[in-house]
Amino acid sequence: MAASDSTFTVKGTSIGCNDPSIIGRLTQLASEGRREVFTALELVEIIRHRNCVQLDDGTVVEIQRGDPSNIAICVRYGEADCRWMSPEAINGLTPEGLENALKRR
């Protein structure tokens, strides 16, 4: 954890999207073991639709809000708008840490 209880870093290379439903769909594909479809959808959303961006390992993000199911969290990094991503893509984020970060918002 970095400077505050809502600041963390990205683990590995991840994806941040404008819409939490994209993250929900990617999570579903990953849980079903459909890696090829997951990768194709990820590339389409990044390259063709520009709904998502790639976030590199170690990118500092601040948790802004979560969706009701906590399948996706909205994070801000740098000057960028809030982007939705999987909480599993955040270094050291526990359910308690997520709850605390969301309480601070």
Q: What gap in Å lies between CA 102 and CA 73, rounded to an integer?
A: 9
Give domain status of residue 2, yes or no.
no
Spatial distance between the Cα atoms of 64 and 102, rounded to a whole number of angstroms = 7
Provide the whole-model pTM.
Answer: 0.85
Look at residue 67 in the predicted model and tell me its pLDDT. Answer: 86
Residues of the chain with pLDDT under 70: 1-4, 105
Q: What percent of the chain lies above the pLDDT cut of 70?
A: 95
Q: Give how many domains the chain has, as a whole number.
A: 1
Instruction: Assess if residue 1 is contained within a domain.
Output: no
Structural domain boundaries enclosing 34: 7-103
Digit-coded pLDDT (tens) for 44-74: 999 889 999 999 999 999 999 998 887 899 9
Does residue 83 sit within a domain?
yes
Q: What is the pLDDT of residue 38?
A: 93
Q: How far apart are alpha carbons 30 and 39 in whole angstroms? A: 9
Q: 20-31 vs 35-43: helix axis angle to the nearest 10? A: 160
d(CA 65, CA 59): 18
Looking at residue 104, its pLDDT comes to 75
23 CB-contact burial (10 Å; exposed 0-12 / middle 13-18 / buried 19+)? buried
